[in-house]
């Protein structure tokens, strides 16, 4: 059976953020992830994890101005210094939280910038980040995101992400494979998972359409969970979906689809 991590950005958002750790534990999760820890005191987050017997498995590097619509700055050549500061901050938090992996959001292609120049910037920034994170024992991830949810996002498909990994050339850079985004952009979920399992460092899920819980849409999660067991995926799968009618009310999918 797969191991699931509650995404606290998406789940239990009927309660204040710091109370979601307890809610996740009470719902049966033993691991959590969320977008960003930076608005919270590290000691407070460490205490929430410890008090609830939780492992944190993922958070993202700083994304730029999230509230203004930025979704990462790794492909922005004029913000390399800011990116490197974010890498240092991400390492500080991940180390304190004993979080083994950190995701880098590539960002939206800046207006007027050639694709090749954005690609070169992304590769350079990832090469730097992968090396710095490796010193701290933390794995770096990159995530393809569909162009419907985030128009203009630079990294959209597994093939593109694999090309970036090849260009960076680091053994400390892997793919964060989000099943929902992959379904919307390319399909071929089972075959892609099998072919590229060694280069996938983390997975996330939601169903399509709607980005709600598994079993609500077109993705055959019962099959995919069996498939992941069969091909040897042993990592967590982050539950990054929008509960259709409240988190706790919708958790029956775990019993129905993942056993």
What's the first-to-final CA gap in the chain, in angstroms?
Answer: 6
- Catalytic residue status for 70: no
Residue tagged active-site, from 143, 186, 188, 218? 143
Q: Which of 86, 59, 117 is nearest to 238 (CA)?
A: 59
CA atoms of 113 and 88, how far apart (whole Å): 26
What is the b/e burial string over 2-36, where b = at least 16 CB atoms within 10 angstroms of the residue's CB? bebbbbbbbbbeeeeeeebbebbbeeebbbbbbbe
d(CA 140, CA 83): 14
143 is an active site residue = yes
Residues designated catalytic: 143, 240
């Amino acid at each position: 059976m797969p191991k699931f991590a509650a995404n606290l950005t998406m789940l239990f958002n009927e309660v204040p953020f710091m109370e979601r750790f307890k809610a996740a534990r009470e719902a049966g999760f033993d691991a959590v992830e969320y977008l960003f820890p930076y608005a919270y005191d590290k000691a407070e987050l460490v205490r929430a994890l410890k008090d609830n017997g939780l492992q944190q498995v993922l958070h993202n590097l700083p994304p730029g101005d999230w509230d203004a619509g930025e979704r990462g700055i790794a492909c922005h050549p004029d913000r390399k210094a800011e990116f490197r500061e974010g890498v240092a901050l991400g390492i500080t938090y991940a180390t304190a939280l004993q979080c083994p992996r950190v995701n880098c959001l590539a960002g939206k292609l800046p207006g007027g910038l050639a694709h090749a120049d954005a690609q070169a910037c992304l590769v350079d920034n990832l090469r730097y980040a992968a090396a710095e994170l490796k010193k701290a024992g933390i794995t770096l991830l990159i995530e393809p995101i569909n162009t419907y949810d985030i128009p203009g996002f630079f990294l959209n498909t597994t093939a593109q992400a694999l090309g970036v990994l090849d260009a960076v050339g680091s053994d400390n850079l892997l793919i964060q494979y989000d099943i929902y985004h992959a379904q919307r952009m390319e399909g071929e979920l089972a075959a892609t998972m099998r072919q590229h399992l060694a280069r996938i460092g983390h997975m996330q899920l939601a169903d399509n359409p709607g980005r709600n819980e598994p079993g609500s849409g077109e993705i055959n999660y019962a099959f995919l969970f069996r498939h992941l067991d069969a091909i040897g995926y042993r990592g967590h799968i982050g539950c990054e979906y929008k509960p259709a009618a409240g988190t706790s009310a919708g958790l029956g999918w775990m019993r129905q689809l993942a056993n």
